[in-house]
């Protein structure tokens, strides 16, 4: 058995510190810093789905889509980037889609069209 040296202790502590820093990163994916927030993604998606549900053909027209995106301060690319960055995190994305679904259900009224199956 080799004797413990100051250098060995420093390496051990540095490794432990790195592990701690990675563990404290929480829910964020490594590339998440450049994406929109979850709240912005959910809010924008809910507005887009609501507009689609209220349109005759079930689609959001280009003008309405541009207006919704602009009012939320995002682009279509921002929404796609969010899904690209977080898409591999299955549990996280299941929670995001559940939040969107719950919000849409809470906003429904009797006059709303039935959701597509």
pLDDT digits (tens, 9 = 90+) for 19-37: 333 444 444 444 466 899 9
Q: Is residue 23 a part of any domain in this protein?
A: no
Q: Is residue 38 a part of any domain in this protein?
A: yes
* pLDDT (tens digit per residue) in 37-94: 999 999 999 999 999 999 999 999 999 999 999 999 999 999 999 999 999 999 999 9
Q: What is the number of domains present in the chain?
A: 1
Q: Is residue 4 a part of any domain in this protein?
A: no
Q: Is residue 77 a part of any domain in this protein?
A: yes
Cβ neighbours of residue 74 closer than 8 Å, sequence gap 6 or more: 36, 40, 44
């Amino acid at each position: 058995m080799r004797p413990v040296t100051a250098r060995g202790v420093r390496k051990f502590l540095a490794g432990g510190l790195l592990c701690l820093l990675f563990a404290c990163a929480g829910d964020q994916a490594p590339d998440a810093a450049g994406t929109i927030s979850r709240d912005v993604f959910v809010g924008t998606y809910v507005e887009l789905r609501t507009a689609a549900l209220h349109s005759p053909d079930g689609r959001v027209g280009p003008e309405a889509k541009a207006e919704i995106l602009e009012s939320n301060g995002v682009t279509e690319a921002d929404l796609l980037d969010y899904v690209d960055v977080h898409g591999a995190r299955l549990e996280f994305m299941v929670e995001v889609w559940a939040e969107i679904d719950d919000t849409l259900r809470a906003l429904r009224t009797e006059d709303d069209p039935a959701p597509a199956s």
